Amino acid sequence: MSDAAEAPTGQGHSEAGDLVARWDAFRQREAFPAIAAIAFVILFPLVFTNLPAYNGYMSLVELIYIWAIFAIGFNLLLGYTGLLSFGHAAFWGAGAYAAGLFSVAISGDPLIMVVVAAVTAIVLAVFLGVLSLRRGGIYFAILTLAFGQMMYYIALGPLGAITGGEDGFTGVSVDPLFGVLEMGAEFAGVLGVLLHDVGYVMFASFFVLAIVGAVRIVRSPYGTIFRAIAENEQRVEFLGLHVWRYKLAAFVLSAAFAGVAAGLHTVHARYVAIASLYWITSGDIVIMAVLGGTSSVFGPILGALAFLYVENIVSGEIAFWLLILGVLFVTVVWLFPSGLWGLVSAMRTAVRRRLLEGRP
């Protein structure tokens, strides 16, 4: 086993090298993303809500998971397929409204609300995808932006009577999970410390599922084709694959993530703002993904965390936080295209090198 670790450095057997090799083997395992994600959702709130200076709060932790799901899905499109959508607010907003309406009209079961939101987003994505993918390349960003705004104006104008127009959709009624578990019901004892309440378990579970699902997609042959399209569309075409169909699939897939996240957000906020359909929401998700780094599944999670932290905590101190985010965003695009996650990877590589070079 230790041969693999020794080979690249050409050094003798060391305990550190052994450790790195074992860690690598563990990381390659199929269950690794799930284990890492579960460890994360248990540890993260404990750290995040007890930060020494500007600490977060539980509700923000849940919000971070929800937006992270959205960002992970968005990045399947941007980072892996190389398509930049400026209209993902359409899926986020449509899913959120669908979940809200469904909770009032038919059933307020949180799980069913999420399913309804996801299905709505998927159906809409097929429709908008066919329109937006009609022209290739740089047109895609323009068309998604335009049709995203169209959804905003539809909700504001013609559908205003249903959506509540400018006031947003109020009166979302969320039932207990499975009819018995209140979302706010807290656990007792150790479970209470680790898993908090029913709502947290639900949001965290979806977050873990999103990570596992996205990693599975990315590592599958299908995901490899997404990446090939980002690299060189023409060559994929020459291989005899129908590029357009894969693009649409990536678009719909990312919209499904957005829909799930939107449904969760409606359950969480019990309100749908008209702003959820506005281009600013599309811009936010672009910023999150790019800031975090688009070359991995984990980058956008980091981006969502950073964005929401600045938006909710730092904004209390600094009024022009969005300006700071904008400058940060341009800096990342310009100089550090691998984003915050790139920073993490670089540190990881440095630590590895130190371990492998085996300082005595």
Partner 1 sequence: MSLLATTIGFLIQTLAVASIYILVAIGLSITLGTLKFVNFAHAAVYLAGIYIGLAVALELPFSGDIGRSIGLGEVGLGLGFLAALAVIPIISFGLGLLMERFIARPFYDRPDTDQILVTFGVLLIVQEVIRGLVGGRSMTFTRPEWAQGAVGLGPLGTFARWRLAIIAITAVLVFVVYLYIEYTDVGLAVRAGTEDAEMVNLLGVRVTRPFLLIFGVGSGLAGAAGVVSGPVFSVVPEVGIGVLVPAFLVVVVGGVGSLVGSVVGGLLIGAVEVGLQMGAPTWASVGIYALAAVVIMLRPAGLFGVVEVDK
Cβ distance to partner 1 smaller for residue 41 or 273: 273
Place of tokens 């290739």: 136
* C-alpha dist (Å) from residue 130 to 42, 58, 142, 279, 316: 41, 40, 14, 20, 42
| Cα-to-chain-centroid distance, residue 125 | 17
Closest to 111 (Cα-Cα) out of 214, 237, 198, 2: 198
Query: Exposed e or buried b for every residue in 267-306, given b needs 16+ CB within 10 A?
Result: bbbbbbbbebbbbebbbbbbbbbbbbbbbbbbbbbbbbbb
Place of tokens 């450790």: 19
Residue 141 has a CB neighbour count (10 Å cut-off) of 16
Closest separation between CB of residue 273 and partner 1, Å?
16
Cβ distance to partner 1 smaller for residue 90 or 174: 90
Cβ distance to partner 1 smaller for residue 260 or 286: 286
Closest separation between CB of residue 84 and partner 1, Å?
4
- Alpha-carbon gap, residue 279 to 307, rounded angstroms: 17
Cβ distance to partner 1 smaller for residue 53 or 319: 319
Do residues 55 and 48 touch, judged by C-beta distance below 8 A?
yes
Closest separation between CB of residue 301 and partner 1, Å?
19
Closest separation between CB of residue 156 and partner 1, Å?
7
Closest separation between CB of residue 213 and partner 1, Å?
24
Cβ distance to partner 1 smaller for residue 138 or 180: 138
7 CB contacts (<8 Å, ≥6 apart)? Answer: none
Cβ distance to partner 1 smaller for residue 171 or 337: 337
67 CB contacts (<8 Å, ≥6 apart)? Answer: 261, 285, 288, 304, 307, 308
Q: What is the CA radius of gyration of the chain?
A: 22
Closest separation between CB of residue 235 and partner 1, Å?
15
Cβ distance to partner 1 smaller for residue 236 or 290: 290
Cβ distance to partner 1 smaller for residue 112 or 154: 154
- The residue ranges that bind partner 1 (CB under 8 A) are 78, 82-84, 86, 131, 134-139, 141-143, 145-147, 149-150, 153-154, 156-158, 160, 279, 283, 286, 290, 319-320, 322-323, 325-327, 329-330, 333-334, 337
Closest separation between CB of residue 251 and partner 1, Å?
15
Closest separation between CB of residue 253 and partner 1, Å?
18
Residue 257 has a CB neighbour count (10 Å cut-off) of 26
Residue 50 has a CB neighbour count (10 Å cut-off) of 9
Helix axes 279-292, 58-75, angle to 10 degrees: 80
Closest separation between CB of residue 146 and partner 1, Å?
6
Cβ distance to partner 1 smaller for residue 109 or 284: 284
